[in-house]
C-alpha cells in the first residue's frame, strides 16, 4: 500500500475507531466496503504464483515460499513474524507416462498420486479392467484383477458446498482395495467436476495389510476413453509412474500478528496453506487462502485503533500431504487457552455465501449486527454451529479451540483443483475481493468483541 492510500484509509476510520470500545458495526461495514476496492489480495496472490510458483513440501520452492511469506507479512505491517520448521519427509515426482498399446494405440494424460510407490523403471504393461464405482471393486472376487491394472471411472457430482468431493474422493484411495484383489497398478478418473484433459493429482491413502501398488490419475476424457475402448474388448496399456522419497526434509509454517489493543494474548488464528501440488502454481489451492486472510488482516491492521484481540495469520506449510496442523498443535500446545477462535480459507477464490460461528455466538448481543453487515455482499448468517474450518485447524479444534467458517461457492473449484490449470488465470479478482470483504468485516467484529466462545458454546 502506498503512503497516500494509507493516509486516506486512516482518515476514513479515525472517527469510528476512536469511539469503538467493542464490536462496532459501522467500522466493520467500512472495512467491508474498503475491501471491495482494495487490490492487496490479488497483489499477494500474483506475487506468490509468479515469484514462487508450485510449492510442494521438500522442494527449494517451498523454502523460497517461507522466505516470501516472512517478507510479505513484514511489508504489510504484521508483527511477531517468524517461521516454524518441522520435520516432514517429502515425496517427489519423476518420469511419468501412459499409453494404450492395443487395440487402439494412443497416449493418455496421466499423473502420479502423491506418495505413490513407483512402477519398475521401465514401467508395467498389462490389460486393464474398467470399473464404474467403488462398490464393484469391493464386491469382486479375491483374484478378480490379478495381474491387471484397475481403472476406476467413478464421476464426481458438482455442488456449491463441495459435498460431491467428499463422496468422490474415496476413489483416490482405492489402490489398496485393488491390490487386495490382485491388481498390479491403479488408475482413477480425476476427482474433478470438469471435462478438461489435465489430470488432477492428490495424495494416496494406502491401507495397512494391503500391498502397495503404483497409483495415478487420468484426465477425465481419458478415463472415459478407456471405458469406451474396454466396451469393445480387451485393452492393454503401458504405465510408468516413477518417484522418490526424501526422508530428511522439513516443512515451514509462517506466522504474523495484528496485535490486539486491549487483550493481545487472546488470539484469533486464521490463514491458508502455503504448500501446493506441483502441476499448477497453487493459485486457488491455496494461494488464494493465503491472500484473502492476509489482506483482510492487513486492512484491520491499517485501522488507527486495532481491535481488542490479536489476529494471527498463519501460512501452514504442509497441508497437501498432511503434517502442518499436527506440528502447529505440538508447537503451541501450552498456549491453546489463548486461542479464542480459529479458521482456514482453503476452498479457492470464488464468492463466500455463508458464515457459521460456534454454537450460540450469533445470539450474543455483541454480534447482533454482524448479519446485517454481511448482507450487502450476499453472505448469509447460517445459524448452524461451525463444525469444520479447514484441514490445518482440525488438530487445534480437536484440542478444544472453537472454530468459525466462511463457506465459499465450490461450483467450479474442482474443475481446476490439483491440476495444471490451478493458476492465476482462473481467479476472478472481484470474487476475491468479496472474500476479503467478508473476512475483514467478520474478523473485526469477532476480534473487537469480548465473547468467550468456549463458554458460549457450552452454555447453549
Per residue in 158-213, pLDDT tens? Answer: 999 999 999 999 999 999 999 999 999 999 999 999 999 999 999 999 999 999 99
Confidence label for 458 from pLDDT (cuts 50, 70 and 90): low
Confidence of residue 459 (pLDDT cuts 50, 70, 90): low
Answer for the pair 89, 83: CB distance below 8 angstroms, yes or no. Answer: no
Q: Give the confidence band of 23 by pLDDT, cuts at 50, 70, 90.
A: confident
- What pLDDT does residue 22 have? 67
- CA–chain centroid gap for 264, Å, is 28
Please report which confidence band the pLDDT of residue 17 belongs to, taking 50, 70 and 90 as the band edges.
very low
pTM, two decimals, is: 0.93
Query: Residues with Cβ < 8 Å from 242, sequence gap 6 or more?
Result: 94, 95, 96, 112, 118, 119, 121
* Confidence grade of residue 8 (pLDDT, cut at 50, 70, 90): very low
Nearest by Cα to 357 from 384, 396, 392, 391? 384
Three-state secondary-structure class, residue 438:
helix
Task: Output the pLDDT for position 3.
Answer: 32
The CA radius of gyration of the chain, in Å to the nearest whole number, is: 24
Mean pLDDT of 414-422: 98
Beta bridge partners of 58: none
Q: What is the mean pLDDT of residues 323-339?
A: 97
Over residues 11-22, the mean pLDDT reads 40
Give CA–CA dist 308/21, Å, rounded: 8
- Indicate which residues carry an active-site annotation: 319
Given a cut of 60, whether residue 6 has pLDDT beyond it is no
Res 55 pLDDT > 70: yes
- Reported as a pLDDT band with limits 50, 70 and 90, residue 2 is very low
Choose between 17 and 379: higher pLDDT.
Answer: 379
Residue 455 confidence (pLDDT)? 83
**Which residues are CB-contacts of 273 (< 8 A; sequence separation ≥ 6)?**
286, 289, 290, 315, 316, 317, 318, 319, 320, 324, 344, 346, 391, 392
Average pLDDT of the residues in 300-329: 97
Tell whether the model's pLDDT for residue 1 goes beyond 70: no
Q: Which domains does the chain have, with CATH numbers?
A: 3-89+249-459 (3.40.630.10), 90-245 (3.50.30.30)
**pLDDT exceeds 80 at position 19:** no
pLDDT tens figures, 26-48: 999 999 999 999 999 999 999 99
Amino acid at each position: 500500500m502506498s503512503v497516500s492510500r494509507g493516509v486516506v484509509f486512516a482518515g476514513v476510520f479515525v472517527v469510528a475507531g476512536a469511539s469503538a470500545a467493542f464490536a462496532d458495526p459501522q467500522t466493520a461495514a467500512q472495512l467491508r466496503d474498503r475491501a471491495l476496492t482494495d487490490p492487496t489480495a490479488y497483489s499477494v496472490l500474483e506475487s506468490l504464483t509468479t515469484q514462487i510458483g508450485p510449492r510442494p513440501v521438500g522442494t527449494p520452492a517451498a523454502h523460497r515460499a517461507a522466505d516470501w511469506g516472512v517478507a510479505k507479512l513484514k511489508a504489510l505491517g504484521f508483527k511477531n513474524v517468524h517461521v516454524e520448521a518441522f520435520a516432514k519427509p517429502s515425496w517427489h515426482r519423476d518420469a511419468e507416462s501412459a499409453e494404450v498399446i492395443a487395440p487402439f494405440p494412443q497416449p493418455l494424460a496421466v499423473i502420479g498420486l502423491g506418495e505413490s510407490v513407483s512402477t519398475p523403471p521401465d514401467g508395467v504393461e498389462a490389460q486393464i479392467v474398467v470399473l464404474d464405482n467403488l462398490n464393484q471393486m469391493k464386491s469382486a472376487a479375491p483374484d478378480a484383477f490379478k495381474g491387471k491394472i484397475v481403472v476406476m471411472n467413478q464421476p464426481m457430482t458438482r455442488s456449491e458446498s463441495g459435498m460431491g468431493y467428499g463422496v468422490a474422493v474415496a476413489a483416490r484411495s482405492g489402490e489398496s482395495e485393488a491390490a487386495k484383489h490382485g491388481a498390479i497398478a491403479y488408475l482413477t478418473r480425476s476427482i474433478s467436476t470438469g471435462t478438461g484433459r489435465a489430470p488432477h493429482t492428490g495424495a494416496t491413502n494406502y491401507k495397512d495389510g494391503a500391498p502397495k501398488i503404483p497409483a495415478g490419475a487420468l484426465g477425465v476424457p481419458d478415463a472415459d476413453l478407456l471405458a469406451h475402448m474396454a466396451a469393445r474388448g480387451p485393452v492393454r496399456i503401458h504405465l510408468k509412474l516413477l518417484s522418490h522419497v526424501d526422508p530428511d526434509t522439513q516443512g515451514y509454517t509462517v506466522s504474523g500478528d495484528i496485535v490486539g489493543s486491549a487483550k493481545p494474548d487472546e488470539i484469533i488464528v486464521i490463514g491458508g496453506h502455503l504448500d501446493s501440488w506441483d502441476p499448477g502454481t497453487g493459485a486457488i489451492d491455496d494461494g488464494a487462502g493465503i491472500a484473502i486472510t492476509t489482506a483482510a488482516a492487513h486492512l484491520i491492521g491499517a485501522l488507527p485503533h486495532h481491535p481488542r484481540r490479536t489476529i494471527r495469520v498463519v501460512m501452514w506449510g504442509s497441508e497437501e500431504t498432511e503434517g502442518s496442523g499436527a506440528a502447529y498443535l505440538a508447537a503451541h500446545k501450552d498456549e491453546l487457552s489463548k486461542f479464542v477462535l480459529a479458521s482456514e480459507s482453503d476452498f479457492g477464490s470464488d464468492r463466500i455465501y455463508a458464515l457459521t460461528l460456534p454454537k450460540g455466538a450469533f445470539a450474543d448481543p455483541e454480534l447482533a449486527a454482524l448479519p446485517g453487515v454481511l448482507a450487502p455482499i450476499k453472505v448469509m448468517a447460517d445459524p448452524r454451529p461451525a463444525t469444520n474450518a479447514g484441514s490445518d485447524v482440525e488438530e487445534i479444534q480437536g484440542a478444544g479451540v472453537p472454530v468459525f467458517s466462511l463457506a465459499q461457492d465450490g461450483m467450479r473449484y474442482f474443475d481446476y483443483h490439483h491440476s495444471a490449470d490451478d493458476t492465476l488465470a482462473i481467479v476472478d479478482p472481484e470474487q476475491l475481493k468479496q472474500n476479503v470483504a467478508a473476512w475483514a468485516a467478520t474478523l473485526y467484529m469477532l476480534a473487537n468483541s469480548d465473547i468467550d466462545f468456549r463458554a458460549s458454546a457450552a452454555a447453549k
